[in-house]
Structure 1
């Protein structure tokens, strides 16, 4: 979605590029964050912390790597730190071992296997590829409404189609994207569903 130039501009501290990245990725990051943290206020705090970290560490951005996956990694670790601290603050000793196991797995997920790319980066790249494979009109509607955040009515008027047709394109696009991604990442069905259900 974002190119090398975007990463380069971020690295230089360009405020407008930073705002564009926030605007485009915010809905998906919010859906991903809610997988871990159900409280909306805390979700907003964690996303804000994520973008603050991005800004503070912009000099370390690798221009040839996906900025999306970089943000997903930061956000995921922020969520896990929050959950860990919450558990430590509780006075009860009734610990859900399954939850602890899942947290440990998610912390280590970047280092599993021989892949150089993180799981988030692989998922983001697959998402981009599947979107690019959609029929032209469907891809345009989905990109403008669900990725760029434009209103369905505006897109409908611009394309000369009805709002219902826009909704139909979006629904079909979501179904195709979800089916292909779940086929590739069956263990991430919840994350994929949340990311598309926005």
Structure 2
């Protein structure tokens, strides 16, 4: 994920409120926007623009307890506008029909929750011991087989399996059964490597 130069050029207030909000919500909002738009570049642009617009209304950051809701609502509205623009360009009639239907609000809420859980999973993967992290990355994010991961890391298959088992055990403890079940119940199918990893932690 890229972090935008416009954001980096902003002079933050002394309490670093803006930086805290950006670091906390940028990845989650990108997951959320991409789910609505199915376009990572456009999703990241919208999230960046949302932060800049809200920064220009600095009073919003004085109500930091509300910033999460403000950000998600702003990104959702910007994504809806982007879908309408696609419709005007005759590029996404079916997409517009789907996302602007009566169930849009519940769909958006589902994707907010999904984005939060996926971001949590990514964060926990990065916090694993380095050996486990490397193995889990190759198996679940690169989609490699146990044998392929062993060859790339110069380890034997039994060592790869040991690091995988240790990583899954750590994730079970850190994430908790509720977060994992929430994601699976919200998923129409286990369609991503991260979703597959979440499912595996239940086994």
TM range (shorter): 0.5 to 0.7
**TM-score w.r.t. structure 2 length?**
0.51
CA-atom RMSD in angstroms: 4.4
Q: RCO (CA 8 Å, sep 6+): is it higher in 1 or 2?
A: 1
Q: Which residue of 1 aligns with 2:17?
A: 17
Q: Which residue of 1 aligns with 2:86?
A: 86
Q: Which residue of 1 aligns with 2:100?
A: 103
Q: Which residue of 1 aligns with 2:5?
A: none
- Provide the rounded CA distance (Å) in 1 between the counterparts of 2:86 and 2:15: 34
- Provide the rounded CA distance (Å) in 2 between the counterparts of 1:19 and 1:64: 12
Aligned residues: 148
SS of the counterpart of 1:152? coil
Select the structure of larger CA radius of gyration.
Answer: 2
List gaps (5 residues or longer) in structure 1.
1-11, 111-117, 129-141, 157-161
- Provide the rounded CA distance (Å) in 1 between the counterparts of 2:66 and 2:125: 20
- Provide the rounded CA distance (Å) in 1 between the counterparts of 2:58 and 2:163: 40
- Provide the rounded CA distance (Å) in 2 between the counterparts of 1:18 and 1:25: 11
1:1-198 equivalences under 5 Å are 13-14=13-14, 16-61=16-61, 63=63, 65-90=65-90, 95-96=93-94, 99-100=96-97, 102-105=99-102, 109=105, 146-147=122-123, 150-153=126-129, 164=164, 165-170=166-171, 173=175, 176-180=178-182, 189=187
**TM-score w.r.t. structure 1 length?**
0.52
List gaps (5 residues or longer) in structure 2.
1-11, 133-161, 198-203
